[in-house]
Amino acid sequence: MTELVPASLLTDIRRMIDSARTRTAAAVNAELTLLYWQVGCRIRDDVLGGERASYGQQILPALARQLHVWEWRAPTWRPALRLK
């Protein structure tokens, strides 16, 4: 079988794809971190009135259930617990 694409071109394109995947993952992670931070702030301000709740783990699962019913793939609430 003859080689239709030079090896150097194939190598460069693979590097470009890998680089794009890495940048995409970093961008998604940054956006998810910002989302979790904003959700935590809204819960603290709107639901808890700026106070820390002893029952905080009950708020997040309830919110996740309601979002899931909304037919949207709700993010897991566990990462938000780390933002306290």
- 83 has a pLDDT exceeding 60: no
Q: What do you get for the CA distance between the two ends of the chain, in Å?
A: 60
Mean pLDDT of 44-71: 72
Where is pLDDT greater, at 30 or 78? Answer: 30
At 1 the pLDDT is 47
Residues 35 and 55: their CA atoms lie apart, in Å, by: 22
- Taking the domains of the chain in order of start, what are their residue ranges? 7-81
3-40, pLDDT tens digit by residue? 788 999 999 999 999 999 999 999 999 999 999 899 88
State the CB neighbour count (10 A cutoff) for residue 31: 10
pTM for the structure as a whole: 0.61
